[in-house]
Structure 1
Amino acid sequence: MKYLGACILFFLALACGERNLKKADIKDVVKEGQRWSAQKAWDWYDNEPWYLGANFNPSSSINQLEFWQEETFDPETIDRELKWSADLGMNLHRVYLHNLLWEQDSIGFLDRLEHYLGLAQKHKIKTMFVLLDDVWHPIPKPGIQPEPIPHLHNSGWVQSPGAEILGDSTRHHELESYIKGVIGHFANDKRVLVWDLYNEPDNVAGQPGRRELEVANKHIYSLILLKKVMRWAREVNPGQPLTTGIWKGNIDHWGTPDSLPPLDRYMLLNSDIISFHAYDGDVDNVKKKIAELQKYKRPLFCTEYLARGVGNTFETVLPILKENKIAAINWGFVSGKTNTIYPWKSWDSTFTAEPEIWHHDILRQDGTPYSIKETAFIKQLSGNPQ
């Protein structure tokens, strides 16, 4: 009986389409009444500085698992690269975790999170942890991770929890101890600024050899799981705000939740602070996203941007975010095993050398910048020009 409600919801969705889920979403907003009020969110945010940072993954790690597993946890590299980010004036990093790390060794995992947070605190950098992720490889496996495929963007990044658990709603409960355990351990830790519960739910892997492994009707399963994760997080009731960022769809509708698909609406109506992704090459689209999301009258965090090849650069996007006191977190910091200096299209074309225009990332592994002019600009806006 414990999972009957979830199963009923799933079969109704399959039978009747998304219209039935829309009513359930609206109910859940009321049922999960622990969402921060807008006033509480502003009272919190008004006492915070403008946040600038990156999605941080050390250059020595190909993915979340290699980042955090005991055998490959690399505090020396982490400490060095955190110092470099602090030198640019960064004060916030968004950092991905994985449920398999909890299953592997929950105590050791928490110890390594403590170690990381200690290093980040030394450099005066706050952390936004990301707990789940629907992007890239659908079948994550613990242990030794694959070597990067040369010149290929994010060849080794893995989804969390991945298709096997996501696509079986009777297994979703396996994640409860992970969600509650990690959030509960750091629920009142000032080094953790925000909890990002689920990155890009319903992002479907389209690469050859991966699309066949994906969950059918993924948007339905992702919504079912997100609702459970939000409930578990609310039961912990941490001192930090919760969010899940909107990342796709018709941006003209972002500010009108009744016009949105159920999953997108649920993310926006249940987040304490509103987060979003902005890889748009047209800066007017970035401005449009901000204008639409400001209708929710909550603090805004841009948790992913920077795609130089399409015109999404620090010079074009960062001033807009700062002007509106929107936290600005670009993708990538030190170029390394993720190969994110290569564009997304590297999956469909052949690169044989470093691209002339880096897609993501800021520094090389020796700490020198991809663009001296660019890092000078970042320092100027961060207020750390030295």
Structure 2
Amino acid sequence: MIRRTFLLATAAVAMAFAAVSPAEAREQWSREQANKWYDKQPWLIGANYNPGSAVNEIEMWHEATFDPATIDKELGWAASIGMNTMRVFLHNLLWENDAEGLKKRMGQFLDIAEKHKIRIMFVLFDSVWDPNPVYGLQSPPIPGVHNSRWVQAPGEARLKDASQYDKLEAYVKDIVGTFAKDPRIVVWDVWNEPNNKGGGNYDHIPDKNKYVALLLPQVYAWARSADPTQPLTSGVWIGEHWDQLDKVDEVERVQLTQSDINSFHDYSWPETFEKRVKQMQSYGRPVLCTEYMARGNGSTFDGSLPIAKKYNVGAYNWGFADGKTQTRLPWDSWKKPYTYDEPTIWFHEVFRADGKPYRQAETDLIKRLAAAPKGVVPAAPK
């Protein structure tokens, strides 16, 4: 997701931390607990997953458009190249309108994933793209535009209305609580790029960072109150000094001090990716890269994935199979839609819609790295 500058939070935001009662939540894992958990995991390798038949996370999970057949087919492709995990977005409006149906479909999805030996990282909230989500059947994709119908959660109206927070709290506690002991879930990502202004044509929510900084620590507390056996995380994605808490904003400080395991996003060159890994590992906790791989931006499987394997950092690339999100198209398609010409190279995605790899060398690399022991980067075949 495209990087954007962000609004600085006001000094009053710091009061939010005091408002969260630690008595209501389990403790954050110690570094020792986090590393003990991580030592038991395989090297986590996967993608951010939305089925090709869904234009966004609401369409993926809505009863009328939930598509188990496509999910089964595409997760089979993932398993065939050694992927063992997927990062998958939820939405609070799905729960508010059909809580039992959402949980039922989550169970179906987890059954399919388990069949393919794939474990899931669920994302509860998201600050990127359209800030005005609408429940129900979704509009078709805008021709030629990257991720044209993706929606934020909870969305601008809910984010700015504290009287609605009880619904957000109930959503988090019910979803995390229902699956708190489920081994098919590997991690809870509580909020995707929380201090992102929006992306695309949506950078306009006044004081967004202030509201997020007030709400994010509460989300961590709500999730912990369900006593999940899985770790909590939220990935930092912007700024230059992630290893220095005095140089990050209030939202990033929450992410870096409240997560059980740390995570980050990087869509840049391999040198930057390695620098980011080292910054994140300075906290002594396990590290996951929960978004990377934008070919036209210098972030590639060839460049970043061997570094992740070397440092034992789990890696989830953005995009999987070409479909209605149209993320094979670059970020700049928001300004100049690719309605007639395909991009010179695909921006995201691993597979074409028919299941053929976009680049066979990439899927061969993923499979080779996935099969090797932790920390081992095998030589390419001659």
TM-score by length of 1: 0.90
**C-alpha contact (below 8 Å) 1:60/1:77 kept by paired residues:** yes
Shift of 1:20: 4.2
**C-alpha contact (below 8 Å) 2:16/2:217 kept by paired residues:** no
Counting matched residue pairs gives: 365
**C-alpha contact (below 8 Å) 1:25/1:262 kept by paired residues:** no
Instruction: Give distance in 1, aligned partners of 2:356 and 2:45.
Output: 20
Q: 1:21 is matched with which residue?
A: 13
Name which of structure 1's ranges 311-320 and 259-268 shifts more when overlaid on structure 2. Answer: 259-268
**C-alpha contact (below 8 Å) 1:167/1:215 kept by paired residues:** no
Instruction: Give distance in 2, aligned partners of 1:372 and 1:233.
Output: 40
Deviations along 1:196-217, one digit per CA (max 9) or x if unpaired, are: 0000112123544x44xx4311
Give the fraction of aligned pairs with identical amino acids, expressed as a percent. Answer: 46
Give the secondary-structure state (helix, strand or coil) at the position aligned to 2:110. helix
Q: 1:3 is matched with which residue?
A: none
Shift of 1:19: 3.4
Given candidates 252, 256, 265, the residue that maps to 2:244 is 256
Instruction: Give distance in 1, aligned partners of 2:150 and 2:158.
Output: 17
**C-alpha contact (below 8 Å) 1:29/1:270 kept by paired residues:** no
Q: 1:29 to 1:382 in 2, by over 3 A?
A: farther
Question: Map of 1:187-266 to 2, 5 A cutoff?
Answer: 187-208=180-201, 210-211=202-203, 214-250=204-240, 253-266=241-254
Q: 1:117 is matched with which residue?
A: 110
The reply on whether 1:176 has 2:163 as its aligned counterpart is no
Shift of 1:105: 0.9
Instruction: Give distance in 2, aligned partners of 1:18 and 1:90.
Output: 42
CA RMSD of aligned residues (A): 2.0
Question: Map of 1:1-386 to 2, 5 A cutoff?
Answer: 18-22=10-14, 25=17, 34-208=27-201, 210-211=202-203, 214-250=204-240, 253-280=241-268, 282-351=269-338, 352-383=340-371
Instruction: Give distance in 2, aligned partners of 1:123 and 1:283.
Output: 31
Shift of 1:169: 2.2
Q: 1:21 to 1:29 in 2, by over 3 A?
A: farther
Instruction: Give distance in 1, aligned partners of 2:281 and 2:265.
Output: 14
Q: 1:17 to 1:124 in 2, by over 3 A?
A: closer
**C-alpha contact (below 8 Å) 2:143/2:337 kept by paired residues:** no
Q: Write the letter of the residue equivalent to 1:19.
A: A
Q: Write the letter of the residue equivalent to 1:292.
A: Q
Shift of 1:154: 0.5
Q: 1:350 to 1:112 in 2, by over 3 A?
A: closer
Instruction: Give distance in 2, aligned partners of 1:247 and 1:317.
Output: 16
Q: Write the letter of the residue equivalent to 2:334.
A: W
Give the secondary-structure state (helix, strand or coil) at the position aligned to 1:127. strand
Give the secondary-structure state (helix, strand or coil) at the position aligned to 2:125. strand
Q: 1:151 to 1:38 in 2, by over 3 A?
A: same
Instruction: Give distance in 2, aligned partners of 1:219 and 1:123.
Output: 39
Q: Write the letter of the residue equivalent to 1:18.
A: T
Q: Write the letter of the residue equivalent to 2:225.
A: E
For structure 2, the residue ranges without an aligned partner over 5 or more in a row are: 1-6, 373-379
**C-alpha contact (below 8 Å) 1:138/1:163 kept by paired residues:** yes
Shift of 1:151: 1.3
Give the secondary-structure state (helix, strand or coil) at the position aligned to 2:95. helix
Q: 1:350 to 1:74 in 2, by over 3 A?
A: closer
Shift of 1:22: 4.3
Instruction: Give distance in 2, aligned partners of 1:327 and 1:17.
Output: 31
Instruction: Give distance in 1, aligned partners of 2:289 and 2:200.
Output: 26
TM-score by length of 2: 0.91
Instruction: Give distance in 2, aligned partners of 1:232 and 1:37.
Output: 19
Deviations along 1:145-200, one digit per CA (max 9) or x if unpaired, are: 01111110000100011001001223222211110110000000000000000001
Q: Write the letter of the residue equivalent to 2:253.
A: R
Deviations along 1:43-70, one digit per CA (max 9) or x if unpaired, are: 1110111010000100000000100001
Q: Write the letter of the residue equivalent to 1:243.
A: T
Shift of 1:24: 5.5
**C-alpha contact (below 8 Å) 2:9/2:213 kept by paired residues:** no
Name which of structure 1's ranges 71-80 and 165-174 shifts more when overlaid on structure 2. Answer: 165-174
Deviations along 1:71-119, one digit per CA (max 9) or x if unpaired, are: 0000000000000000010000000000111011111110100000000
For structure 1, the residue ranges without an aligned partner over 5 or more in a row are: 1-13
Instruction: Give distance in 1, aligned partners of 2:77 and 2:150.
Output: 24
Q: Structure 1 residue runs of 4+, over 2 Å off?
A: 16-33, 205-208
